[in-house]
Each structure stands twice: as C-alpha cells, then as structure tokens.
C-alpha cells in the first residue's frame, strides 16, 4: 500500500574550491584545497559507507581534482612553504607572515578547543587586529604554531592515525621531525581522495557527478544577455560575451575527465551554482548528459514561463526538458537548514527537525509516493567548520536515522532519474540557485569590468591564433586554459556589493593574474587595465602621501638622513596579499616630487636576492590621463641609466628613479596612480600595491598644499 512506501531522498554534496594554481607553476596561491582535503574530501566520502542502505551523491569539480593531483606531484602553497621552514631559521618577515595568517580557522570550533593553539592565538592579540612583535615569539612557539595551523584541519575521522594522534596528545613542544611527518602525512592523505572515490563508485556504494571543468556560469558563457530574463533592467558589460563553444568545451573536458578516472560515461551534472538556461539545456542534451539539478525557485519561474499550473505540479519529483534531460529542483529550505541553521543546534535536535520535515513532506505525497523524490543539495565542505567536531555528530546521527527509518529511502540522483517517470517541463527559466538570477556574477560595475577584460583577452587570443598559425600549439593551449580558468564563477562571486571581506582583494588579484598570463604566454604587452584592481572598496592599506617637496640625489643609496624626508610611502610588508611570497624583494616604496621631477625609491628586504633572478625587470605604471609605462632592465648587472631626458635611475643598496613631470603630464601636474612590479622576464614575481594603486595629486607649481601632523 502507498502509505507504507518510503519517501525517496536524494542528497548531493558539492565539493569545490577555486583554481588557485599560479599560471605556469606548481604553486597554489592559497592553501584551501590542501586544508579541505584533510578535513572534508575523504571523510565526507567514507562516512556514509558506515551505514547500511545509505546512498549519497558526490559532485566534484575537475579543477579541484587537478589541484589535488598537483599536491601529490610535489606542488606547494605559501602556507605549506612557511610551514616547512625550520622555526629557528625563520626571518622576521616570515615570522610576521606566519603570525598574520596561521590563525585562519574557526575560533569557536577549531582554535579555542586546543589549549596550545588558543594560547598562541591570545598571545598574538586574538582578533584585536593590532600588530604584534614577532620577536616576542620563541622558536618553540613558532614551531608549535606551524604544527597547529595544519593539525586543526585534520578531520576527526583521521585523528587516530599517526603521526596525528601523537601530536594531538602531545599538544606542544613539537620537533622539526614531527612537523615534517605531519606535512608528509597531509600529502599522503590527499593522494587517497580520488582513488577512494573511484573505489566506492565502482562498488556502487556512492554516485559521482561532475561540474563543468573550471566551474563557469554556463548560461553567461553562452550569452551574457540571458541575465536580462530575470532582471530586464540590468546594466550589462560593454562587450557582449557570447561563446557557447566555451560552454561546450567546459562540459566536454568534464566528461572526458570523468571517463579517464572512472572508466564509465558521466550521467549527471550539477551546473556551477545551479545555473541553467534553455540554451545550456540544449547543449547538455547534445553532449549526452542525462540529468542536472538547480533550485526550486527556477522551477516556479519555469512554470510561469511555460504557462503551467504550479499547484498541479509538485516540486519534489523529476522533470524532463526536451528529449531526455532530467531535472531535479533542490528543496531550498531543507538544503539551507543543513548549510546555515543546524550548526548552532544540538545534533539530536537538528536531526529530529530534519526528519520531521521529511515526514511532513511524505504525508503530502502519499497518493503519488512512487513519483516523489526530495532533492537536498548543498556545499559539502564549508559548513562543517561551524559545527562542533566538524559536523561528525550531526552527520552520524542523520545518516543513522536515514538508514534505519522505514519511511525514508535514500537514493542517488542517477537512480531517481532512471526510476521516476518524469513530468514534462515546457520551458526553462534562466537563473541560478541564488535568487533565481545571475546578479552575483554580472551587472555590478566591477562584475562588468571583469567580463569586459575577459572578453578582451579572449578576443586577443582568437586573433593571435588566426594570425600566427605556426605559433607553438602547446602555448596556444596553455593560453586557452587560462581563458577557461578565468571563466570560472569564483572570481565574480567576489566582485560587486554582495560579498565584502578580506577575500575580495585576493580573488581580484588571482583573476587578473590569469588574464595577464594569457598575454605573457603569447608574448604580448599586458594592457594597463589589467594592472589596475577591479575591486574598489576599501583597500587594506592606504599609501601615506608626501608632506613636503624633495629632491634626492639619484645615486642608489641614502646619501644623508634627510634625503627622503617628507616622502610618501607604501609598506609592502604590512600590505601582504594573495601574491605575497616568502621571498619578496621589495619591502617599501617611497615617492615624492619637486618642481621638475617625480621621484621613486624602492627599499629591498635583501638586495642580493635580485642576483638570483635571471632577467630582473622593474616595471612602473603611471596612471595619468595618458597612462605611461616604464620598464627598467637591470639584468646583466646594469645599475644605472637614463632615456631621452625622461627618466634617470640608479640601483645600489636601494633603487632610485626620477621621472620628468612633463613626461607624465603635458601641463606638468595632475592626478597620478602608481604601481610597481618586479618581473623575471615576462613572469611577474611581485606587484605593488595588489589592490588600489598608490594615488595622489601633484599640484601645479607654487600651489602645493601639504598636510602633516
């Protein structure tokens, strides 16, 4: 009888991190892939296997798999590099970097429960934001911090493994050998992630789906004008972006990656951010994808677009668009309760609430229970650090109840797509899982500028490829890879007004770095626009403006104590940033002017490090009404020079540069923005500032007004 049949529940965990790989290297600029690998990717897979009859779907992003492989092949990241340095050999700058970044973990659940880590956190000033002297920390304390900043990201499932168990038991006074054993264990665990997915998928114990390769918003790749369907008055980018061939390439690469790992055809896909459109659906049908999923709000608006009665058509079932593409529409409320509500509840109460909602849904569908499925789809990694014990108690209780309750049957997405007779959906509304639109990724001036820069870079590559048929195919393919990476959704997620925190500047920098690499690979000049930040809200560190006129001697040294007195400056060490490396050369930028020239001075952490650079170039970009670009080549031991009376430089203990004001502005005064970049040939080593350029106004002669305290 129908009142005895169980309600089908299809859970999908989406596993994703942005592509952090520095172009052309084995280095990831942020450590989150490594951290989440040790905390989420393996335990989330293995935990359901402890419960009989429990079925779950895991959605993976191919670019995430590539980054996991990068680590097992010897890749690194700044946090890992700093962790591997012997604590007794850390420079003051490296200590400051560690103290500023090694407490990146949830305070309540990842720092406070561990006595030594919390002790170091409090000594470092807690969340006061006030700088602390690195000299106050002993070598032993720095080593303990190196260990704990990695140790807390180990999932509870693996804390009985060695050397992890011994380190938790010991708590402090770690040795260098123990530290390196932990870091080596991390890499070993990362190497287990993909094989474990393959094993359980082959055994039929879990289902696996993929997202398009670099996590792009497929409808916007097909045509940015599709955003107008949900928001007709949206202001779109100046350059129309319509490249369904890129969307097809991202899907095709994903399908090929799936087949190379699992040896079978990929059947299902969670489109990035649940973003869909009719053009995308047609493309997925063409590519042989059997099912996709998005949010229930998309279904409501699709009903309206189709002229279908929403009351006669339930949310909790399978729909079909066109010939053969099955669609699931996530239960928005239930999915968000796991992701955003239950972390603050006791596990028993949270599980009882979730099961209660499922029972109420079941009671509504008793007359058509065979055709009912409740899709619960959410991020499978980021929520758990807000739960006690990384969510293990909640998930264990949830899985136990789901596996034992006769009124609930967990199924995979592929099983539901194959077994449930679908309802035909006449039209598909274009939107994402967030507010059924694309507002997060397009429409704001920052988003639109990012799309324009992407379109410009892509057009440049297409034109270059057409005009240079004999150019290296390997380099052309490398440039296309950067285009596809830059099409990912993660970059525009951080532009606009929706998400504002410390990540904005970092992701802006990473996005522009991928676009810059396209020009570098092709041997073309980088457009000035790519050297300016897109993100415009509140840089973390402002430059200090000059408070006097100055005329230094351009001799590469501090000639006398007051030579640069009154200069403005930008402190690179305090600024840090996403591209900040352990081995930065430039420590501070000084700047000022007199009536004829604008002066720049670069201080170095260790000038000898320049000798290790094969082809060192200093690039200065002056953002004036007619931007100026100056490259100083100091390779081969060159230490001084001038050009056409426009500039003069000398490299000694410091680098001093004087630029004629009449070269910057015909009227010899005006607004100025300044960035400084150190290159090794075409490769960027460091660029300052990483957010807003240094900005100041150079007043007309005899009209200067300086403010000083």
Structure tokens at 410: 């967990």
Using 50, 70 and 90 to split pLDDT, how confident is the model at 500? low
> Is 290 within 8 Å of 322 (Cβ atoms)?
no
pLDDT digit string, tens, across residues 164-219: 999 999 999 999 999 999 999 999 999 999 999 999 999 999 999 999 999 999 99
pLDDT digit string, tens, across residues 128-148: 455 678 889 999 999 999 999
Q: What is the CA radius of gyration of the chain?
A: 28
> Is 505 within 8 Å of 578 (Cβ atoms)?
yes
pLDDT of 126 strictly over 80: no
SS3 track for 554-621:
CCCCCCCCCCCCCCEEEEHHHHCCCCCCCCCCEEEEEEEECCCEEEEEEEECCHHHHHHCCCEEEEEE
- Which value, to the nearest 10 degrees, does the dihedral of the CA atoms of residues 31, 32, 33, 34 take? 60
What are the backbone angles phi and psi of residue 208, rounded to the nearest 5°?
Answer: -125, 135
At 502 the pLDDT is 65
- The strand pair at 628-633 and 616-623 is best described as antiparallel
- Which DSSP string do the residues of 375-411 spell out, in sequence order? EEEEESSTTGGGSGGGGHHHHHHHHHHHHH-TTEEE-
User: Between residues 543 and 297, which one has the greater pLDDT?
Assistant: 297
Q: CA 48, CA 604: separation in Å to the nearest integer?
A: 53
SS3 track for 190-255:
HHHHHHHHHHHHHCCCCEEEECCCCCECHHHHHCHHHHHHCCCCCCCCCCCCCCHHHHHHHHHHHH
Which of 98-107, 462-471, 672-681 has the largest mean confidence? 462-471
> Is 44 within 8 Å of 92 (Cβ atoms)?
no
Whether the upstream peptide bond of residue 163 has omega within 30° of 0, thus cis, is yes
Q: CA 658, CA 649: separation in Å to the nearest integer?
A: 6
pLDDT of 547 strictly over 60: yes
At 140 the pLDDT is 98
Using 50, 70 and 90 to split pLDDT, how confident is the model at 561? low
Q: How far is C-alpha 109 from the chain's CA centre?
A: 23
pLDDT of 578 strictly over 50: no
- The strand pair at 568-571 and 291-295 is best described as unpaired
pLDDT of 686 strictly over 60: yes
Q: Which of 43-52, 127-136, 151-160, 366-375 has the lowest mean pLDDT?
A: 127-136
> Is 655 within 8 Å of 619 (Cβ atoms)?
no
pLDDT digit string, tens, across residues 399-416: 999 999 999 999 999 999
Q: How far is C-alpha 446 from the chain's CA centre?
A: 17
Q: CA 466, CA 468: separation in Å to the nearest integer?
A: 6
Using 50, 70 and 90 to split pLDDT, how confident is the model at 612? confident
At 691 the pLDDT is 65
Burial of 221 (0-12, 13-18, 19+ CB in 10 A): buried
> Is 707 within 8 Å of 593 (Cβ atoms)?
no
Q: Which of 46-55, 352-361, 454-463, 677-686 has the lowest mean pLDDT?
A: 677-686
> Is 483 within 8 Å of 457 (Cβ atoms)?
yes
> Is 266 within 8 Å of 417 (Cβ atoms)?
no
- E-state strands within 303-394: 319-321, 325-330, 373-379
Instruction: Please report which helix (H) or strand (E) contains residue 136, including its range.
Output: none
pLDDT of 582 strictly over 50: no
Greatest CA separation found in the chain? Answer: 95
- CATH fold of 2-16+211-424 reads 7-stranded beta/alpha barrel (3.20.110)
Which of 167-171, 334-338, 541-545 has the largest mean confidence? 167-171
Whether the upstream peptide bond of residue 380 has omega within 30° of 0, thus cis, is no
Q: CA 86, CA 179: separation in Å to the nearest integer?
A: 9
Using 50, 70 and 90 to split pLDDT, how confident is the model at 683? confident
pLDDT of 709 strictly over 50: no
Q: Around Cβ 293, how many Cβ atoms within 10 Å? A: 27
Q: DSSP letter at 30?
A: S
Question: How confident is the model over 673-697, as a mean pLDDT?
Answer: 85
Nearest of 658, 509, 653 to residue 592 by alpha carbon: 658
pLDDT of 707 strictly over 70: no
Q: CA 308, CA 7: separation in Å to the nearest integer?
A: 25
pLDDT of 605 strictly over 50: yes
Nearest of 490, 513, 516, 474 to residue 19 by alpha carbon: 490
pLDDT of 98 strictly over 90: yes
Question: How confident is the model over 646-657, as a mean pLDDT?
Answer: 92
> Is 507 within 8 Å of 18 (Cβ atoms)?
yes
User: Between residues 643 and 413, which one has the greater pLDDT?
Assistant: 413
Q: Which of 272-281, 298-307, 418-427, 500-509 has the lowest mean pLDDT?
A: 500-509
At 703 the pLDDT is 67
pLDDT of 498 strictly over 90: no
At 643 the pLDDT is 67
Q: CA 603, CA 587: separation in Å to the nearest integer?
A: 6
pLDDT of 645 strictly over 80: no
- CATH fold of 568-698 reads Immunoglobulin-like (2.60.40)
At 562 the pLDDT is 64
User: Between residues 13 and 559, which one has the greater pLDDT?
Assistant: 13
pTM comes to 0.77
- Which DSSP string do the residues of 69-94 spell out, in sequence order? HHHHTT-B-HHHHHHHS-GGG--HHH
At 580 the pLDDT is 34
Q: DSSP letter at 581?
A: -
pLDDT, averaged across the chain? 91
Percentage of the chain beyond pLDDT 70 is 94
Nearest of 661, 694, 656, 652 to residue 675 by alpha carbon: 694
Q: If you count DSSP H runs as helices and E runs as strands, how many of each does the chain have, helices first? A: 23, 21
């Amino acid at each position: 009888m129908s009142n005895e049949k169980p309600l089908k529940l299809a859970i999908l965990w989406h596993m994703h991190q942005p592509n952090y790989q520095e172009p052309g290297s084995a280095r990831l600029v942020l450590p989150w892939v490594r951290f989440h690998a040790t905390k989420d990717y393996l335990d989330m897979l293995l935990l359901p296997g402890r419960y009989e009859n429990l079925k779950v779907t895991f959605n993976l992003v191919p670019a995430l798999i590539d980054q996991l492989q990068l680590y097992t092949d010897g890749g690194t990241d700044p946090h890992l590099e700093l962790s591997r340095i012997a604590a007794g050999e850390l420079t003051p700058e490296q200590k400051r970097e560690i103290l500023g970044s090694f407490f990146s973990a949830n305070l309540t659940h990842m720092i406070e429960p561990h006595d030594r880590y919390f002790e170091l956190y409090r000594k470092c000033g807690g969340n006061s934001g006030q700088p602390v002297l690195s000299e106050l920390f002993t070598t032993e304390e720095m080593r303990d911090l190196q260990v704990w900043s990695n140790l807390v990201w180990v999932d509870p499932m693996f804390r009985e493994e060695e050397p992890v168990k011994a380190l938790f038991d010991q708590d402090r006074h770690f040795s260098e050998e123990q530290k390196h054993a932990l870091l080596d264990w991390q890499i070993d665990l990362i190497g287990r992630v993909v094989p474990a997915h393959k094993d359980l998928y082959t055994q039929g114990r879990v289902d696996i789906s993929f997202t398009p390769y670099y996590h792009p918003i497929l409808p916007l790749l097909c045509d940015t004008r599709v955003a107008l369907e949900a928001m007709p008055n949206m202001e779109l980018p100046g350059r129309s972006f319509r490249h369904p061939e890129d969307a097809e390439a991202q899907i095709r690469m994903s399908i090929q990656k799936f087949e190379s790992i699992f040896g079978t055809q990929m059947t299902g896909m969670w489109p990035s951010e649940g973003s869909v459109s009719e053009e995308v659906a047609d493309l997925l049908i063409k590519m042989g994808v059997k099912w996709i999923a998005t949010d229930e709000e998309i279904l409501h608006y699709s009903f309206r677009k189709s002229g279908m009665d929403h009351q006669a058509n339930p949310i909790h079932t399978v729909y079909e668009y066109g010939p053969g593409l099955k669609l699931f529409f996530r239960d928005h409320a239930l999915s968000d309760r796991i992701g955003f509500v239950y972390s603050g509840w006791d596990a028993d109460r949270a599980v009882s609430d979730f099961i209660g909602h499922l029972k109420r849904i079941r009671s509504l569908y008793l007359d058509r229970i065979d055709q009912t499925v409740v899709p619960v789809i959410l991020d499978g990694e980021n929520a758990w650090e807000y739960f006690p014990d990384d969510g293990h108690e909640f998930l264990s209780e949830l899985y136990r109840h789901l596996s034992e309750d006769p009124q609930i049957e967990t199924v995979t997405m592929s099983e539901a797509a194959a077994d449930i007779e679908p309802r035909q959906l006449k039209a598909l509304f274009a939107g994402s899982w967030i507010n059924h639109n694309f507002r997060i990724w397009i429409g704001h001036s920052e988003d639109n500028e990012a799309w324009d820069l992407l379109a410009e870079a892509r057009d440049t590559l297409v034109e270059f490829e057409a005009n240079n048929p004999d150019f290296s195919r390997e380099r052309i393919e490398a440039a296309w890879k950067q285009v596809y990476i830059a099409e990912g959704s993660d970059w525009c997620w951080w532009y606009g007004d929706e998400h504002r925190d410390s990540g904005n500047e970092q992701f802006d920098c990473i996005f522009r770095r991928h676009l810059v690499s396209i020009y570098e690979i092709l041997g073309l000049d980088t457009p000035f626009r790519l050297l300016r930040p897109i993100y415009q809200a509140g840089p973390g560190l402002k430059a200090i403006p000059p408070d006097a006129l100055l005329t230094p001697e351009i001799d590469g040294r501090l000639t006398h104590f007051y030579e640069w007195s009154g200069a403005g400056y930008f402190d690179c060490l305090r600024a840090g940033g996403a591209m900040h490396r352990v081995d930065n050369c430039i420590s501070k930028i000084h700047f000022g002017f007199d009536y004829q020239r604008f002066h720049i001075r670069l201080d170095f952490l260790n000038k000898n490090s320049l000798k290790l650079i094969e082809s060192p170039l200093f690039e200065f970009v002056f953002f004036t009404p007619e931007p100026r670009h100056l490259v100083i080549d100091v390779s081969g031991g060159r230490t001084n020079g001038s050009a056409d009376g426009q500039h003069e430089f000398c490299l000694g203990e410091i680098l001093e540069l004087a630029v004629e004001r009449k070269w910057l502005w015909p009227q010899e005064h005006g607004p100025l923005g300044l960035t400084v970049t150190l290159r090794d040939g075409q490769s960027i080593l460091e660029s300052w500032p990483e957010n807003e350029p240094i900005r100041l106004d150079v007043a007309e002669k005899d009209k200067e007004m300086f403010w000083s305290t």
